[in-house]
Structure 1
Amino acid sequence: MTVVGSGVVGLTTAVVLAESGRRVRVWTREPAERTTSAVAGGLWWPYRIAPEPLVSAWALASLTVYEELAGLPEETGVRLVDGVHRGTRLDGLGAWAGRVPGLRAVSDGLAARLPVIDMPVHLAWLRERLARAGGVVEAREVSDLAAVPAPVVVNCTGLGARSLVPDPAVRPVRGQLVMVENPGITTWFTSVGHASDASTYVIPQPGGLLLGGTAEDDDWSLAPDPDTAAAIVARCAEVRPEIAQARVLAHRVGLRPARHAVRLERQPLPGGRVLVHNYGHGGAGVTVAWGCAREAAGLAFPAA
């Protein structure tokens, strides 16, 4: 069988399938380190993803896995880190929030100890775990999902599904980030204004302090904008003044694969073959990766 796409959703799905005894190959147009997943902030939290009832189950299933993986942070890239979501209230969240261990109201929002994933490390670890299970990753560009020569094809192409399926409901939500030297900050912080395309978040990663961010609908630009970067640093420095003097290490831009709802469904192909779609995860691909992977595996190979 073939999984198309090597972002966090594609690799996680391939791992789940390979570890269930399937012979899996991943076809990818570009290596994992060049996917949108590689530049994600990496904080576990359902963000810009629907539908909420399904997202709850997928996110909680993934949370359980990440809590286990945090036992080997240097290997898996997953750590449990304390932080605060400013301006967020429990009664404004879905049912999943009541099942997040330690999530609690504080004076300015919600506090929790949540998984923070160092995405380059985690993607490399997923690739190695897939190889141990017998899976292979091949550089292959796909122009027609139905033409992939496999009895089962799983479509994890993210934003690429817009042209490949084709599915015009998939659209980009541009996110720009700034990586700076960490002046000693050990906790994460977010403040998301849903009425604006600008937000404020600070996420400590092993390679530096990740500052964000933006959520610009239907913007395809992958070029970092200097004015946007300066505004990001300024917003974060209002929260933590020591950030103002931190040396900039890198600029990152990613295009979130947004959709009105995640598409996770089975589609028959000619000759008795099967196509399973697993895309449209918006800003929460990391958050729901394991839950969606398990459901995709069940759709690919339904229990008798």
Structure 2
Amino acid sequence: MSEAIGKAGEVSSGDQLRAKKTVVVLGAGVVGLTTALKVQERGGYSVVIVAEVLPTDEKTTRYTSHWAGAHHVLNVSEDERQQKMDLDTLKVMWDLSEPGTETAQYFKRIVQTEYYSHVKLLPPLDRMPNYTVLAPETLPAGIVHGSSFDTVTIDTPRYLRYLADRFVAAGGRLVRGAVQHLDQVLEGGAGIFTPNRTPERPDAVLVCTGLGTRFLGGVEDKTVHPIRGQTVLVRAPWIDFGRTIGKESGWTYVIARHSGDVILGGTRAVDDWYPLPRPETTRDILERTFAMCPELAPPEVRALRAPTLDDVLPLVIEEGCGFRPGRTGGIRLDVEWRKAGEGKAAKEVPVVFNYGHGSYGFQSSWGSADIALGLLEEAINRKQ
């Protein structure tokens, strides 16, 4: 994973010569933050993020990114565009996780083991670093295929704050605002949400509103739907690996973070809007993950006797749930031209859409941001 990624903040001579274009990004989840950062660091743009919930806020189901695990696993089998986005993102994250760098603290490089109780079409895991197929005689009971490879996990709350800080350091702005309709921003920009309420019509708008796109006036994409995921966070710094079992009924996973916290999951409930952790689901997650990974029990306990689930319960820090922004048809990445303003002052403004990532927000964030930037630049150049 040593391929060079473009230098952050690198600005071409052509960008230096042109006036900066004002761009508004709607949404401050991992997709919105990464997209805004990509555009701001490209040069030639003045970018402002408008969002109702920001990464420094307390956790809420209105902000999915805080609840993500998250690890990077190439598990999309049939969508070549998604695979490229995921690979491009892995390259960036691998560089950011380089030991000894300032950004390594937001990641943990691990060996990930994937088990499958059924195999119809294997995901393209063979493109992961150090991919190895496990010998059949080493597989647990009921497992028909297993593999291991190197990957990264992301300490999601800290990584989100890092993206926001890097965006601001590059000259971007964060504005808190509840956008009811796309037309509000097309005509007034981010200025209508600032204390002085000074409109500033943008040159372009990027919509990265995730699940909120279902309710955003002027878009109201009803193909967007929640995929509820519930997780349990435990303190287990001795876990330095990742492990997943995939069954037709769902996934069971253990995701270790650099901080020593470990995310246990998971669930995948389509169109389930319940905003609180269900106790019975928490118990089910703990039982499944402990059965798969008895190493969750403290090592001093395992040195003396066979551990039980009761040894893991005191390690629980938090139960949580989030609504992954699923979309029928997958991620939307395209451009529409929308009217901004009324009468003679009206003009056409390009709107770039980048939402509907489902379970793959972190995993495809940099790749989809690349595509969104390309769409933006093509639209801006057409307009000039």
Into which bin does the TM-score normalised by the smaller protein fall? over 0.9
Partner of 1:117: 154
Measure the CA separation in 1 of the matches of 2:105 and 2:174: 19
For the structure 1 residues 237 and 18, does the alpha-carbon distance in structure 2 shift closer, same or farther, using more than 3 Å as the test? same
* Paired residues of 1:172 and 1:255 also in contact (CA < 8 A): yes
More deviation, 31-40/276-285: 31-40
Partner of 1:102: 130
Which protein shows a greater Rg? 2
Deviations 1:170-219 (A, max 9, x none): 100100000112162211111122x32x4211111214221101001110
For the structure 1 residues 12 and 224, does the alpha-carbon distance in structure 2 shift closer, same or farther, using more than 3 Å as the test? same
More deviation, 25-34/162-171: 25-34
* Paired residues of 2:128 and 2:150 also in contact (CA < 8 A): no
Partner of 1:297: 373
Measure the CA separation in 2 of the matches of 1:128 and 1:223: 30
* Paired residues of 2:40 and 2:167 also in contact (CA < 8 A): yes
Measure the CA separation in 1 of the matches of 2:78 and 2:203: 29
Q: 2:113 aligns with which of 70, 76, 84?
A: 84
Whether 1:268 and 2:337 are equivalent positions in the alignment is: yes
Measure the CA separation in 2 of the matches of 1:152 and 1:207: 41
Q: 1:40 aligns with which of 40, 63, 68?
A: 68
Partner of 1:67: 94
The TM-score with structure 1 as length reference comes to: 0.92
Aligned-partner residue type, residue 154 of structure 1 = L
Deviations 1:120-170 (A, max 9, x none): 111011011101110011101111123313221100000001111201101
* Paired residues of 2:46 and 2:171 also in contact (CA < 8 A): yes
Partner of 1:29: 52
* Paired residues of 1:50 and 1:262 also in contact (CA < 8 A): no
Aligned-partner residue type, residue 113 of structure 1 = D
The TM-score with structure 2 as length reference comes to: 0.74
More deviation, 10-19/83-92: 83-92
* Paired residues of 1:51 and 1:262 also in contact (CA < 8 A): no
Secondary structure of the corresponding residue to residue 185 of structure 1: coil
Q: 1:248 aligns with which of 306, 316, 324?
A: 316
Partner of 2:30: 8
* Paired residues of 2:231 and 2:265 also in contact (CA < 8 A): yes
Secondary structure of the corresponding residue to residue 228 of structure 2: strand
Following TM superposition, by how much is the alpha carbon of 1:4 offset from its aligned partner in structure 2, in angstroms? Answer: 0.4
Tell me the number of residue pairs that the alignment of Structure 1 and Structure 2 aligns: 300
Q: 1:176 aligns with which of 209, 230, 233?
A: 230
* Paired residues of 1:86 and 1:190 also in contact (CA < 8 A): yes
Percent of residue pairs bearing the same amino acid type: 32
* Paired residues of 2:238 and 2:260 also in contact (CA < 8 A): no
Measure the CA separation in 2 of the matches of 1:113 and 1:91: 23
- Aligned-residue Cα RMSD (Å) equals 2.1
Aligned-partner residue type, residue 273 of structure 1 = V
Aligned-partner residue type, residue 251 of structure 1 = E
Measure the CA separation in 2 of the matches of 1:51 and 1:30: 34
For the structure 1 residues 51 and 158, does the alpha-carbon distance in structure 2 shift closer, same or farther, using more than 3 Å as the test? farther
> Where does structure 2 lack aligned partners over 5 or more consecutive residues?
1-22, 140-145, 190-201, 297-308, 340-346
Following TM superposition, by how much is the alpha carbon of 1:100 offset from its aligned partner in structure 2, in angstroms? Answer: 2.2
Measure the CA separation in 1 of the matches of 2:78 and 2:210: 17
Instruction: Work out which structure has the larger RCO, using CA pairs closer than 8 Å and 6 or more positions apart in sequence.
Output: 1
Following TM superposition, by how much is the alpha carbon of 1:89 offset from its aligned partner in structure 2, in angstroms? Answer: 8.9
Measure the CA separation in 2 of the matches of 1:118 and 1:79: 8
For the structure 1 residues 98 and 84, does the alpha-carbon distance in structure 2 shift closer, same or farther, using more than 3 Å as the test? closer
Secondary structure of the corresponding residue to residue 358 of structure 2: coil
Deviations 1:46-103 (A, max 9, x none): 45x7971110110010010000000236665122111201118998345x54432212
Secondary structure of the corresponding residue to residue 113 of structure 2: strand
